Amino acid sequence: MCGMLLQDSGLVNRPPLLPKASRGFENPLVEKDPERAIPLFWAAINAGDRVDSALKDMAIVMKQQNRAEEAIEAIKSLQSRCSDQAQESLDNILLDLYKVC
């Protein structure tokens, strides 16, 4: 049953495995190494790999590292590369970051 998920409606295919760049930035977060994670978020963003989630996650990690101003600049410069669905979430993160500055 590899590759299948069991749901109420029966068996369905699971989503494909994540591309290499996006898998790369997950590991440092598990290891709780945000300093290593931030360059990997940038790599994923620059590769166009899950830009929405990489940018949001990177901004949150930067905020935790007291790098709110850098996170604001990153969002402002990259927000146009994100989907319409991500815009409200990014705006909310920006508001939160502005409160910290």
16 band by pLDDT with thresholds 50, 70 and 90 = low
The answer to whether residue 33 sits within a structural domain is yes
DSSP 42-89: HHHHHTTSSHHHHHHHHHHHHHHTT-HHHHHHHHHHHGGGS-GGGHHH
Structural domains in the chain (count): 1
- In the numeric block, the tokens 């996170």 are attached to 71
- The confidence score (pLDDT) of residue 33 equals 86
Q: pTM score, two decimals?
A: 0.69
Average pLDDT score, the chain: 81
The confidence band for 54, taking pLDDT boundaries of 50, 70 and 90, is: very high
Q: What CATH number is attached to the domain comprising 55?
A: 1.25.40
> Which two three-digit tokens encode residue 35?
């300093």
Domain carrying residue 30: 20-100
Helix or strand (DSSP H, E) at 12: strand 10-13
Residue 2 lies in a domain: no
Q: What pLDDT, in 10s, does the model give residues 28-50?
A: 555 678 889 999 999 999 999 99
